[in-house]
Copies of this chain bind each other. A is one copy, B any other.
Amino acid sequence: MKLEDIAKKAKVSRSTASRVINNDRYVSADARQRVLKVIEQEQFEPNPAARTLVTRRSNIIGVAIPQTANVFFGDNSYYPMLLQGIAEAVNKSDHAMLLWLAESHEVRDVFAKRVVRHRQPDGLILTSVVDRDPLFEYMVKHNRSFVMVETPPAYADRVSYVTIDNVGAAAEATRHLIQIGRKRIAHITGQLTIQDGIDRLKGFRQTVAEAGLLYEELIKPGMFAAEFGYRLMQELIPLRPDAVFCGGDTAAIGAIRAIHEAGLRVPDDIAVVGFDDLDVATKITPALTTIRHRVMDIGSTAARLLIDLLDGRLEHPHHFVMPTELVIRGSTGGQG
C-alpha cells in the first residue's frame, strides 16, 4: 500500500494525501478527514526511503561509541545510561537511533571509516573522543552535523557539545577532602587523552595548589578502568597519602580494594572520592563519595541539541554545561 493507493481510496490526489501526512494547512477539513480515515484503516506508514530521498532527511541520529568492550561492559553503566537518555529525546521528536559500537580492540581509524561510510544518519553524537580522533577530525573537516558529549579535545569554539563543569566539580571534590582535614591528597586521573580527564586533573591541581598541598608525586596518570585504580593505588600507598581523588568511580573501586588489601581503612586511613556516581558507588563498602552528574540528562540534552541544530532551531556551535553535585558518603566519613 502506497500513498497513491491511499489517495485513490480517499478520492483525492497524491498531493493532497501527502499534504495531510505532512500537516500542510492548505487542505479542506473534509479531504483531511477522508485521508486520515483511510490511513487509519489501512495502517499506512509512508515509505521512509522514498521520503528520505527527496527531503534529504532520514530522521535517524547516529551514536558512535568508539570505546572497546571492557569499558562499555562491566559494572560501568555510563554508556547504557547515556543511550537511554538519547533514546528518550529521540523518541519525543520521532527520530530513531543508529548505534555504532567499536569492536573489541578495534583501531579508531577503522571504526571511524565504518561510521562515516554509512550515510543514513542526519547527524552524529560522538562520545569518548580522544585527541586527534580520526572520526572527530573527519566530521569537523567535512562540516558534518554532530554533537559531542564531553568537552572536545580541539576546535572547542567551532563544535557543539554537552559537557559538565569538570574543572569545577573536581575542585569541589578536592575542597571536600581538604575540609575534612586531609593533608596528603593523591589523584588517580582518568584517561588523559580525553578532555574530561584533563579537566578533572586541572581542577584538582588548582585546588591543592591554592591550599599549599600540591605534591606532584601523588598524581598518577591512569584510566577509567578498575585495574588502573587498583594498580596505581598500590604504587601510591608507600607514599602515605591520606586521601585519594579518582577520575572515575570504577577506578575508585579498584583503589579501595588496594587499600583494603594493604590492611588500611577507608576513610580512616585514606579517604576516597570518585567521579560519576555510577550505580556501583552505593553498592560497595563503604559507599563512595563522588561527583554526581545525570548521565541520562546529558544524553537527552545532546540528542535534543543535535536535532535542534539539524532543524535550524539552534545556531551552530552551541554549548551546554550540565550541573554536577558532590554526594558525600562513607568513603570520606559521611554516612553509608
Contact = CB atoms under 8 A, between A and B. Distances in A.
A265 interface: no
A269 interface: no
A118 B91 contact: no
Interface stretch (A20-28, A95-103, A231-239): A95-103
A60 B120 contact: yes
Contacts of A320: none
Interface in A42-70: 45, 47-50, 52-53, 58, 60, 63, 69
Contact of A99 (B73, B77, B98): B98
A44 to B, nearest CB: 11
Contact of A48 (B80, B87, B114, B119): B119
A75 interface: yes
B75 A280 contact: yes
A279 interface: yes
A137 interface: no
B98 A69 contact: no
A87 to B, nearest CB: 4
A313 interface: no
Interface in A93-115: 96-101, 103-104, 114
Interface string A73-91: 1110101110110011001
Residue from A60, A80, A280 having most chain B Cβ neighbours under 10 A: A80
A132 interface: no
Contacts of A100: 87, 96-97
Nearest to A63: B99
Nearest to A279: B74
Interface string A132-175: 00000000000000000000000000000000000000000000
Contact of A118 (B48, B53, B69, B80): B48
Interface string A116-130: 011110000000000
Nearest to A99: B99
Contact of A97 (B69, B74, B75, B99): B99
Given A53-B49, A120-B96, A80 B73 contact: yes
Given A47-B119, A120-B60, A75 B72 contact: no
A133 to B, nearest CB: 19
A7 to B, nearest CB: 19
8 contacts: A53-B53, A69-B84, A73-B279, A74-B77, A75-B280, A83-B101, A97-B101, A120-B120
- Sorted nearest first, the 3 A-B pairs with minimum C-beta distance are A49-B52, A87-B101, A49-B53
